[in-house]
Structure 1
Amino acid sequence: MDDDKETAELKQCMEIIPNEEEVTIDVIPLAVKSPRIVDWKIHKKGKKSYYQIIRADRKSQMYRIFSQMIKSFDREDLEDLYKLVKARYGSTKPVENMDYLLWNDMKIMFEAHVEDEVWKLQNRYKVLEWKLYDSYGVQFLRMQSMQIYMLVEKKYPLTPPTLLMMLEKKLQIDYESEMAYQLYKLIIKQLKK
């Protein structure tokens, strides 16, 4: 009985927005799955810069911004790219603007530290959007002057005001999932501390 009541309360905190652009596939045959990511480069075309993601079969794909890239990745792709970025910039910060943005997004996602600037600034900004990408376990938080990508299973130094704004905004999901419920429970637990 309590589980049904809790589930009903959690459903009120979610907004299901089916993504008609994407087709969800639970199982991808190995023959169809793209090879692993082996490198990335910044490709410039005129005044525009693109991330060029290179796979083991030497095929590549261009992405203008990180959010486009992440929507076409799976969890393995994210982890591969993170390892490559960490290997290249483990002890130094990138100089190129696009490389810095990629390094920063990946660092926040995989190695969040309380001292990171993004966590210090979060109370200055209003939460505009909160989404869950269930297929690869990433939540996306868009605030007035920043975007944060976070792994669902990790705890991040989000402040109570930010957590409350997230709950007020409602979590945008493509479909109901256990991951969405677990994420809500984790946030409510953090607020009760």
Structure 2
Amino acid sequence: MENLEFCDKHNIVNWEYILLGMTEAKDSEVCKITRADGSSSFHGDIQALLRRLDRQDLSQLYSLVQERFKDHPLEGHDLDLWGDLRMIFDPNEEDDIWLNQQYWELLRWKLHEYSGVHSLFLDGTSIQINMLVEKKYPLKKEILEKMINLKIEAEEESTMAHELIKFIKSQIAEQS
């Protein structure tokens, strides 16, 4: 894995969803991330965030969302973002998503090395399960085995991908 230095990177200070325009009679909104230096970046969905933000950025964004959530309820895209980030950083094994794993049909398993997150894409639904590489989630043995059988999609062969596969295999062994 490349060693990425961010000496001159500025902290995320805000996020907002902005309307870019209409396409095929539907609004096209993106998440605008603003940094302390005034620069901003635009992200279409959680997968775009995972490709372009590193772990520190994701943690900062989650803290900002939690902070805003305390003061007033989130709705729309903000609620979706909070749900995605909460699943990554603070999963609740009592959530329906984890309790209904027997219905999951896995399509893909992808590694976002930059953010240190791996994603499961489920068939027949727009649900994506995003998880930190080194964190244990309430995944059942059957799902872990399906992940290994799918093979992970990574941009290139990497230590992180190999370590993640070893980690998943150790979880399978624990549940045997």
Q: TM-score range by the shorter chain?
A: 0.7 to 0.9
Find the counterpart in structure 1 of residue 28 from structure 2.
48
Does the CA contact (< 8 Å) of 2:11 and 2:35 recur in 1? yes
Match in the other structure for 1:113: 92
Q: Does 1:177 align with 2:158?
A: yes
Task: Say which is worse superposed, 138-147 or 57-66, in terms of deviation.
Answer: 57-66
Kindly provide the amino acid, as one letter, of the partner of residue 44 in structure 1. L
Aligned residues: 167
**What corresponds to 2:3 in structure 1?**
26
TM-score (norm 1): 0.78
TM-score by length of 2: 0.85
Percent identity, aligned pairs only? 34
How far off is 1:82 after superposition? 0.9
Distance 2:158 2:28 in 1: 38
Structure 2 match to 1:10: none
**Offset, 1:181:** 2.2
Amino acid at match of 1:119: W
Q: Deviations over 1:22-52 (max 9, x none)?
A: xx86343624x3x111010111234222111
> Of 29, 40, 48, which residue of structure 2 is paired with 1:60?
40
Matched, 1:163 2:144: yes
**Which aligned pairs between 1:31-110 and structure 2 lie closer than 5 A?**
31=8, 33=9, 35-46=10-21, 47-90=27-70, 94-95=74-75, 97-110=76-89
CA distance in 2, matches of 1:48, 1:29: 31
1:114-142 deviations in Å (ceiling 9; x for gaps): 11122122221211111112233111111
Higher-RCO chain (CA-CA 8 Å, sequence separation at least 6)? 1
Find the aligned partners of 1:120 and 1:170 in 2 and give their Cα distance: 24
Highest CA radius of gyration, 1 or 2?
Answer: 1
C-alpha deviations, 1:146-188, integer Å up to 9, x for none? Answer: 1011101110011112111111110112223222222122211
- Ranges in structure 1 where 5+ consecutive residues have no aligned partner: 1-23
Give the aligned partner of residue 134 of structure 2.
Answer: 153
Give per-residue Cα distances to partners, 1:41-65, cap 9 Å, x unaligned. Answer: 1112342221111110122222221
User: Residues of 1 paired with 2:64 and 2:74: CA distance?
Assistant: 13
Partner-residue secondary structure (3-state), 1:171 = coil
Deviations 1:58-91 (A, max 9, x none): 2222222121122111111111101111111248
Q: 2:134 corresponds to which letter in structure 1? A: E
Distance 1:92-1:157 versus aligned 2 partners, 3 A rule = farther
Q: Which segments of 5 or more consecutive residues in structure 2 lack a partner in the other structure?
A: 22-26
